[in-house]
C-alpha cells in the first residue's frame, strides 16, 4: 500500500488538529489527485479546513498546484493564504 505525507502549516494545522498525517494513495479508498485530497480534507475537517482551502495552496513535492486533476506526489503541503508582499 502506497502512502503520501500530508503536512499542514499555520491555520491548516489548526484546522486539522495536527502537523501531518499519512494517507493511502491506492486501493478502493485512494486519494490520488489534488481534487480527491481536497474532498478528503473537507470531509475530515469541515468548515475550518474549507476556510483554509478557499484561498490556500497545495504544494505537491515542492510545486504549487491548483489543478484538481494533478496526481499527488510523496509529500503534499497544505499552506494557508499568506498576508503581505
Helix then strand then coil, % of the chain, to nearest 5? 35, 30, 40
Q: What is the CATH number of the domain that holds 55?
A: 3.10.20.30
Please write the tens of the pLDDT for every residue from 4-54. Answer: 999 999 999 999 999 999 988 777 667 889 999 999 999 999 999 999 999
Only one residue has cell 491506492, namely 26
How do 57-60 and 63-65 pair as beta strands? antiparallel
Cα separation of the two ends of the chain: 41
Within-domain flag for 84: no
The boundaries of the domain holding residue 70 are: 3-79
pTM score, two decimals? 0.89
Within-domain flag for 37: yes
Nearest by Cα to 56 from 25, 77, 85, 84: 77
Within-domain flag for 85: no
Amino acid at each position: 500500500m502506497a502512502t503520501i505525507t500530508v503536512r499542514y502549516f499555520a491555520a491548516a494545522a489548526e484546522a486539522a488538529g495536527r502537523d501531518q498525517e499519512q494517507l493511502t494513495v491506492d486501493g478502493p479508498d485512494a486519494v490520488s489527485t489534488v481534487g480527491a485530497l481536497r474532498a478528503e480534507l473537507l470531509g475530515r475537517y469541515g468548515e475550518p479546513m474549507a476556510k483554509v482551502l478557499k484561498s490556500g495552496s497545495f504544494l505537491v513535492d515542492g510545486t504549487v498546484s491548483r489543478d484538481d486533476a494533478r496526481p499527488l506526489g510523496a509529500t503534499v503541503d497544505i499552506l494557508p493564504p499568506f498576508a503581505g508582499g
